Structure 1
């Protein structure tokens, strides 16, 4: 089922976390922060919205890192119900940035993550400045010449510390929450 996150809550402070990565290390917000800001992406392996734009996510992450933006992805889906999202399967994705596993789903709840992909762009002070879409793609990749909404917003954050006033929410698969036993 498709889900859309709420609009950006400008200035909201990033909650810290300590999560295992597919690289064998444990990462915190401070570990992944860049000197000009930080992009936290909630993604997963099986979501058609993420799969459709995986190459664009990687492209934008690399370009943002060059601008001083730290980049990290977090998978919070219930891997028991969605085995394709297991930690072992995450290791096969080959992302060039830390890919972390939120098995307890506590981090997703702290961020109020709604869907995959869900993008949270913070300035150098850890204040939310962007909660929008990657581009106009949906469950299928759009044309290659689409405006790079995420990249442009985070470039602005790197340059000014502030995100754009106008933001279009991301859309994707809902986070697959664990059911209480």
Structure 2
């Protein structure tokens, strides 16, 4: 079942974290934040919405990083029920797609809850002051990739944030698979 998160809560603060990455290191917000903005994205390995755009995410992340925007991906899915989303498989995915950004595992799901992440992919774009300016979709893709010339909504928004500190007023919410929360 597809889930769509709420629209951007402009100015909401980012949330610090310290999580293990596929490269064996621990990363916090200060390690990944960029001087001109930061993208925190919640993704996972098994979601068809993520799989349909993962190569585009990697392409656009490199362009954002070149513009001074920090990029980080976090998987928070319950790896006991969804083993494909566990740390070992995350490393395989990061290596296969040559991620230029850290891919972190939120085993306790506390970071995903702090951010209010609801689906994969779920994008949180912050300005240099750590204020939320984008909570929208990547592009018009869904379970299958959109057209190759689809407007690059996330990239355009993040470049605008890097330049002006403000995100676009009109944003289309992301859509994807629900975060696989652990049962109590």
Query: Which TM-score band applies after superposition, normalised by the shorter structure?
Result: over 0.9
CA distance in 2, matches of 1:129, 1:168: 13
Q: 1:155 aligns with which of 159, 163, 180?
A: 159
Task: State the partner residue of 1:140.
Answer: 144
The yes-or-no answer on 1:164 pairing with 2:168 is yes
Q: State the alpha-carbon separation in 1 of the partners of residues 176 and 39 from structure 2.
A: 17
Residue in 2 that maps onto 1:104? 108
Which whole-Å CA distance do the structure 2 matches of 1:96 and 1:87 have between them? 17
Is structure 2 residue 41 aligned with structure 1 residue 37?
no
The runs of 4+ residues in structure 1 deviating greater than 3 Å are: none
The alignment status of 1:85 with 2:85, answered yes or no, reads: yes
1:155-181 alpha-carbon deviations (Å, 9 max, x no partner): 00000000000000000000000001x
Aligned residue number for residue 134 of structure 2: 130
State the alpha-carbon separation in 2 of the partners of residues 9 and 116 from structure 1: 18
Alignment deviations for residues 1-47 of structure 1 (CA, whole Å, 9 cap, x no partner): 21000000000000100000011110011110000000000000000
1:91-136, Cα deviation, whole Å (9 max, x unpaired): 1012221000000000000000000000000000000000000000
Q: CA offsets, 1:134-167, max 9 Å, x none?
A: 0000000011000000000000000000000000
Q: 5+ residue gaps in structure 1?
A: none
Partner-residue secondary structure (3-state), 1:162? coil
Which segments of 5 or more consecutive residues in structure 2 lack a partner in the other structure? none
State the match for 2:120 in structure 1.
Answer: 116
Distance 2:86 2:67 in 1: 32
> SS at 1:27's partner residue?
strand
Please report the TM-score for the alignment, with normalisation by the length of structure 1. 0.99
3-state secondary structure, aligned to 2:52: helix
- Aligned pair count? 180
Q: CA RMSD in A?
A: 0.5
In 1, Cα distance between the equivalents of 2:14 and 2:73?
14
Shift of 1:84: 0.3
